Amino acid sequence: MEGRGFRDLKPEFDRLETQILGASFDDQAANKAFAAKFQFNFPLLCDTTRQIGLAYHACEAVDAQYAKRISYLIGPDGKIRKAYETVQPSQHPSQVLADIQGQVAAH
pLDDT digits (tens, 9 = 90+) for 34-93: 999 999 999 999 999 999 999 999 999 999 999 999 999 999 899 999 999 988 999 999
For residue 85, the model assigns a pLDDT of 93
pTM, full prediction: 0.90
Encoded amino acid at 76, one letter: P
- Give the Cα-Cα-Cα angle 100, 97, 1 (nearest 5 degrees): 145
For residue 107, the model assigns a pLDDT of 66
Domain annotation for the chain: domains and CATH numbers: 2-106 (3.40.30.10)
Query: What are 89-104's pLDDT values in tens digits?
Result: 999 999 999 999 988 7
Q: Dihedral sign for Cα 51, 55, 56, 57, please.
A: positive
Other C-beta atoms within 10 Å of 69: how many?
Answer: 14
Would you give the DSSP letter of residue 91? T
H/E stretch holding 96: helix 92-106
Query: What are 1-38's pLDDT values in tens digits?
Result: 799 999 999 999 999 999 999 999 999 999 999 999 99
3-class secondary structure, 44: strand
Q: How far apart are CA 31 and CA 54, in angstroms?
A: 19
